[in-house]
Structure 1
Amino acid sequence: MPAALSSATLGYPRVGRNREMKKALESHWGAQSTAADLHAVSEAVLVDSLRAQHAAGVARIAVGDHTLYDPVLDWTRRLGCVPPRFAHLPALDRYFAMARGVDDAPALDLSKFFGTNYHYLVPEIDAAAAPRPDFADFLDMIRLAQDTVGNHPVVPLVLGPVTYVHLAKLEGVEAKDVLAKLLPVYAQLLAELKAMGVKEVMMQEPALVLTEAAEMKDLYQTAYKALAEPRLPLHVVTFFDSVDPAVLSWVVALPGINGLSLDFTRGNNLAALKEMTWPNSLRLGAGVVDGRSVWTDADTAPPMLAAIREAVGDGVEISVQPSCSLHYVPIDVECETDIPKEIRSRLSFAVQKLDTVVALAKQPAGSGAKGAQMDQIVQDAITDALDEELFVREPKFERRRPQQFSVPGGFGTTTIGSFPQTKEIRRVRTQFKKGNLSEVEYHSMIDKQIGFCIGVQEALGLDVFVHGECERSDMVEYFGVKLTGFAFTKNGWVQSFGSRYVRPPIITGDVSRTGPMTVREFKIAQGMTEKPVKGMLTGATTILNWSFPRKDISHEKQAYQIGLALRDEVADLEAAGCKIIQVDDPALREGLPLKHKDWAEYLRWAVRAFRLSTSGVQAATQIVTHLCYADFEDILQAIDDMQADVLTIENSRSGDEMLRVLAEFGYARDIGPGVYDIHSPVVPGVDAVAERVALFGKVGLARERVWVNPDCGLKTRKWEQVIPALKNMVAAAEKARAK
């Protein structure tokens, strides 16, 4: 018999068609709505997503990744792994305190989820941790799903125990000991789900695609032996890369599992299938529809599915599905009427990907060997090797640093770039886009806001100013609009974390600059002060990674195209008198492949793209970059190779870990470690900031090399939080400078 086909999902966008979750969260945080109001909106968004999947005809609907803030945080709460500093708070307050901090209880660390731009809250587990599970909200979610779709199969989606432990920050305890505490808790959940009539559970285990997975064999075998006891079939889900063949050989034999989902849009799982005999008892989840790309799967999915069916042979049930949760793409391309038809016809958002999944699952055996071919978008403009001199910064740092701006006594103060985006600023931008304001009127209003930002910084006494970025809706979209080769959505929102949503641009063709992008605003700001004002740009790798890139040419070539455009902008800023230019590349680490063997090649071109953008300046021009919310200790050489003069980093949530490893590495350039958490509404006191600044010397940083700044941009904060926080930061820096 030919392999049977069915369809399934692994998660769905949870933001709401009109960003209902963002609005509900921020309303609740602003004390404008109750907890009941928040939960009502959350339930309505979940029901809408369930109905969309049911209406599309999906056979198995995964349920469980809907969240108020972050699914990993949800599992920290459900498993009862809440750090003691939050234990005194009421339930919902405790949940948001872990995400955002409160009083003297700093929030959990933020990090990127397996190479994506999604930020998760890092669990903290020490030897004294004693899990106190509470699965009430998860069980209610499953009941709601069952009620919504009737007798249609819904499959609970659970963050697997080994991956959860891998994501956690372990203090004085080994992974196997933590797992031993958690497995009875997971078994309890499975027993409760079974009692509710659940027939199968999906266990998310993306850690299986990592290089380190080979070392986790004992953990996985121990875990799934224990989880087999409730006798509830488990379907293990992997994504974002392939599972190494040696690992796959023991994964398919894990106790208690009835299925395994593999990502066929990244890595090479197909090659592994061809070299093995797939167990007939194991359903194969074939992730042939790319859950992280907005381009149509018509050219790739049908032939890939045909090859998979041939590789596993007859008798194996195959579930056609997205490669991962559809949380990483916008909801519906039909909302984007402003995108040219010839581009829109090639796009596929969550709704369209559901239709593709269901259609593929209905095709007969032997069909789909050839897909609809998507023509190359345009010819790549970069066909010849770039001159190697374009990638080299001269003279060396030791010779150029004395020519650059510095603060006597060290501990110079600055910010990362953005200031609060008020409703008034957003209204002005919207009115200009609609044509209700002339360009002159718009610039006049923006310039007034720049003047306000400069005035605030003058009053606070900062050493290096920024213009505030009030003209920018987003640090990537703003530049994409001013470059060729980009398309933009109106409703293409994707969650970055919590209530922070972005609309990633879509790279549709060759990228080039048509004219200056930031010079006008720099000139306005610099003309208002004697203090140096930083030019503010987003780096090539970040623009690439935070967009939906092309599929017809390499990421390297796209990064170089963007790098050349930024190089021209850097030159124009320098010509306009800008002495400090910040080129932020926070997505450098995020784009790192999940397999160690692929790191060197990625880092080679990512670092070169940064240097292509920045290496053309004079020795006296200071190049600053910013990295945040990821673990950078394993790419320190690449960070050094960027040749930036100043490195600013997120630091307050990660407990100075990055500082310590930079000091141990011998990083010899200037460093600006974040001194307070900008994602928390808590205003830090002078003593708290001073204490953090004092730590910089203890890890070996010379005062003349240290800059004092917040963790990240201040766009999401309110002025009533920003002004006192910066005032205290400046006072703390002056206190440190005086010692």
Structure 2
Amino acid sequence: MTGPREQFRPEDHDNEHFLLTSVVGSYPKPKWHDRARELFEDPDADFDEHNWEEAKDDAARLITQEHERSGLDTVVDGEMRRNEMVEYFAELIDGYEFNGRVKVWGHNYFDKPSIADEVEYGEEWLVDEYKFTSSVSDRPVKVPITGPYTLARWAFNEAYETTEDAAYALADLVNEEIERLVDAGCKYVQIDEPALAQYEDDHAIVGECLERIADGLPEDVRLGLHVCYGDYSRIYPEMLEYPVHEYDLELANGDYEQLDVFKNDEFTKDFAMGVVDAHVAEVESVEEIKDNIKKGLEVVPPEQLTVSPDCGIKLLPREVAYGKMENMVQAAREIEQELDEGEIDVVGGQTASAD
């Protein structure tokens, strides 16, 4: 499953080599977006649903254009319409209930839901989001969607005998949503499964979920899997059997300590490697990011490498988030040029300077 990657190469791309540049998904919301939500939730404020929808549209348009300005090959709206990666979908899926907020880390809280009844597909989740983003951008739009395993794992399960059963039921709903996205024109979907590398021996469950998700999708639809916060040795190389084209992995935050995990067995799919740290509020230099990209070339050849942040960057200051993206794209373009000029040799999966 090599993946329809070249469709995302811009027609005016200057270099012979092409490193696909993308983002994981979330992006800092403008301060006025949060103020608009507060007004919408205030029963005494003169700020109705129409005003709230307009504010979300404005934020989505602004962040999509910010992604374009940074030079990214594929754009996302920064998830301006979403609150949290599980909450958002649990509110849309019939069968979930909410019980109150639980502390996740620091001062961050998560409204952890319960699966109180068998899950069912109700209203569409992301189709309107995709259509709007596509309408305000000429670039390919990637749609991130929280995966069924994480939707099951990060909720209290009161309706199914096992987490596995809940995940499979949710996978069927994700498949239905992606089919609707594809009908709307979407060519790039990323399944977010941050829970995958946190648990032992569950990679087979995720594999079955992905089989259900990928069932019936056209060959030109690119399917990615984002994994973070865990021990990749628990799932590699078994995860290469998943029916996805691309693996988007957090590695910069751990200073690439886990990079060797992927060298013992050939990485046969596309490798979307985190080259900027989503947890550090400082913009990495172009040279530092170039060094990180070269680490990815130790694992896969250029035609299999995607350049991305570690994770969603919504918790960073907005100017830092933009600076990371801009430098990341510039670093990728410079690496492409150096590859074109033979300054970087890629031999047997290993990268070295021609000097």
Same fold? TM cut 0.5: yes
Asked if structure 2 preserves the Cα contact closer than 8 Å seen for 1:541 and 1:610, the reply is no
Matched with 1:728 is 327
Quote the Cα distance in structure 1 between the aligned partners of 2:273 and 2:329. Answer: 14
Quote the Cα distance in structure 1 between the aligned partners of 2:85 and 2:269. Answer: 25
Q: Which of 662, 674, 692 lines up with 2:262 in the alignment? A: 662
Matched with 1:493 is 102
- Deviation at 1:615? 2.9
Instruction: Report SS of the residue matched to 2:139.
Output: coil
Q: Deviations over 1:465-516 (max 9, x none)?
A: 0111011110000000000111124x41222x33333221111111111021
Report 1:114-193 matches (<5 A): none
- Deviation at 1:458? 1.6
In terms of fraction of residues, the more strand-rich structure is 2
Instruction: Report SS of the residue matched to 2:312.
Output: coil
Instruction: Report SS of the residue matched to 2:224.
Output: strand
Quote the Cα distance in structure 2 between the aligned partners of 1:538 and 1:448. Answer: 24
Q: Which of 482, 490, 501 lines up with 2:92 in the alignment? A: 482
Matched with 1:534 is 142
Q: Deviations over 1:286-340 (max 9, x none)?
A: xxxxxxxxxxxxxxxxxxxxxxxxxxxxxxxxxxxxxxxxxxxxxxxxxxxxxxx
Quote the Cα distance in structure 1 between the aligned partners of 2:38 and 2:152. Answer: 25
Q: Which of 500, 512, 515 lines up with 2:120 in the alignment? A: 512
Quote the Cα distance in structure 2 between the aligned partners of 1:529 and 1:492. Answer: 36
Quote the Cα distance in structure 2 between the aligned partners of 1:404 and 1:590. Answer: 33
- Deviation at 1:426? 2.7
Q: Deviations over 1:332-387 (max 9, x none)?
A: xxxxxxxxxxxxxxxxxxxxxxxxxxxxxxxxxxxxxxxxxxxxxxxxxxxxxxxx
Asked if structure 2 preserves the Cα contact closer than 8 Å seen for 1:421 and 1:716, the reply is no
Q: Which of 228, 232, 252 lines up with 1:652 in the alignment? A: 252
Q: Does 1:628 align with 2:255?
A: no
Quote the Cα distance in structure 1 between the aligned partners of 2:315 and 2:25. Answer: 12
- Aligned residue type for 1:487: E
Matched with 1:709 is 308
Matched with 2:153 is 545
Q: Deviations over 1:64-92 (max 9, x none)?
A: xxxxxxxxxxxxxxxxxxxxxxxxxxxxx
Quote the Cα distance in structure 2 between the aligned partners of 1:461 and 1:734. Answer: 10
1:640–1:425: structure 2 CA closer, same or farther, 3 Å change rule?
same
Q: Which of 289, 294, 298 lines up with 1:694 in the alignment? A: 294
Matched with 2:276 is 676
Quote the Cα distance in structure 2 between the aligned partners of 1:515 and 1:725. Answer: 35
Q: Does 1:459 align with 2:69?
A: yes
Q: Deviations over 1:254-304 (max 9, x none)?
A: xxxxxxxxxxxxxxxxxxxxxxxxxxxxxxxxxxxxxxxxxxxxxxxxxxx
Matched with 2:48 is 438
Asked if structure 2 preserves the Cα contact closer than 8 Å seen for 1:403 and 1:620, the reply is no
- Deviation at 1:433? 4.6
Quote the Cα distance in structure 2 between the aligned partners of 1:439 and 1:579. Answer: 31
- Deviation at 1:634? 2.7
- Aligned residue type for 1:464: T
Asked if structure 2 preserves the Cα contact closer than 8 Å seen for 1:494 and 1:504, the reply is no
Instruction: Report SS of the residue matched to 2:226.
Output: strand
Matched with 2:83 is 473
1:422–1:501: structure 2 CA closer, same or farther, 3 Å change rule?
farther
Quote the Cα distance in structure 2 between the aligned partners of 1:512 and 1:641. Answer: 28
Q: Does 1:612 align with 2:212?
A: yes
1:656–1:504: structure 2 CA closer, same or farther, 3 Å change rule?
same
Report 1:592-603 matches (<5 A): 592=200, 599=201, 602-603=202-203
Asked if structure 2 preserves the Cα contact closer than 8 Å seen for 1:523 and 1:576, the reply is yes
Asked if structure 2 preserves the Cα contact closer than 8 Å seen for 1:651 and 1:674, the reply is yes
1:551–1:561: structure 2 CA closer, same or farther, 3 Å change rule?
closer
- Aligned residue type for 1:674: G
Asked if structure 2 preserves the Cα contact closer than 8 Å seen for 1:545 and 1:591, the reply is no
| Higher RCO (Cα < 8 Å, 6 or more apart) | 2
- Deviation at 1:463? 0.5
Asked if structure 2 preserves the Cα contact closer than 8 Å seen for 1:410 and 1:707, the reply is no
Q: Deviations over 1:595-649 (max 9, x none)?
A: xxxx2xx332232112212333100000011111111113214321222111111
Matched with 1:45 is none
Quote the Cα distance in structure 2 between the aligned partners of 1:727 and 1:405. Answer: 18
Root-mean-square deviation (CA, aligned residues, Å) is 1.9
- Aligned residue type for 2:172: L
Asked if structure 1 preserves the Cα contact closer than 8 Å seen for 2:8 and 2:20, the reply is no
Asked if structure 1 preserves the Cα contact closer than 8 Å seen for 2:253 and 2:278, the reply is no
- Deviation at 1:552? 5.2
Matched with 2:8 is 405
- Aligned residue type for 1:405: F
Instruction: Report SS of the residue matched to 1:664.
Output: coil
Asked if structure 1 preserves the Cα contact closer than 8 Å seen for 2:8 and 2:74, the reply is no
Structure 1, unaligned runs of 5 or more = 1-396, 593-598
Quote the Cα distance in structure 2 between the aligned partners of 1:406 and 1:540. Answer: 30
Report 1:2-21 matches (<5 A): none
Asked if structure 1 preserves the Cα contact closer than 8 Å seen for 2:225 and 2:246, the reply is yes
Matched with 2:344 is none
Asked if structure 1 preserves the Cα contact closer than 8 Å seen for 2:228 and 2:250, the reply is yes
Matched with 2:352 is none
- Aligned residue type for 2:8: F
1:529–1:402: structure 2 CA closer, same or farther, 3 Å change rule?
closer
Q: Deviations over 1:624-676 (max 9, x none)?
A: 11111111113214321222111111111223244332232112111111111
Asked if structure 2 preserves the Cα contact closer than 8 Å seen for 1:585 and 1:627, the reply is yes
Structure 2, unaligned runs of 5 or more = 11-15, 339-355
Q: Computing the radius of gyration over CA atoms, which structure comes out larger, 1 or 2?
A: 1
Percent identity between matched residues is 26
- Aligned residue type for 1:670: D
Matched with 2:343 is none
Report 1:245-264 matches (<5 A): none
Report 1:41-56 matches (<5 A): none
1:616–1:427: structure 2 CA closer, same or farther, 3 Å change rule?
farther
Quote the Cα distance in structure 1 between the aligned partners of 2:224 and 2:123. Answer: 23
- Deviation at 1:687? 1.0
Quote the Cα distance in structure 2 between the aligned partners of 1:513 and 1:403. Answer: 33
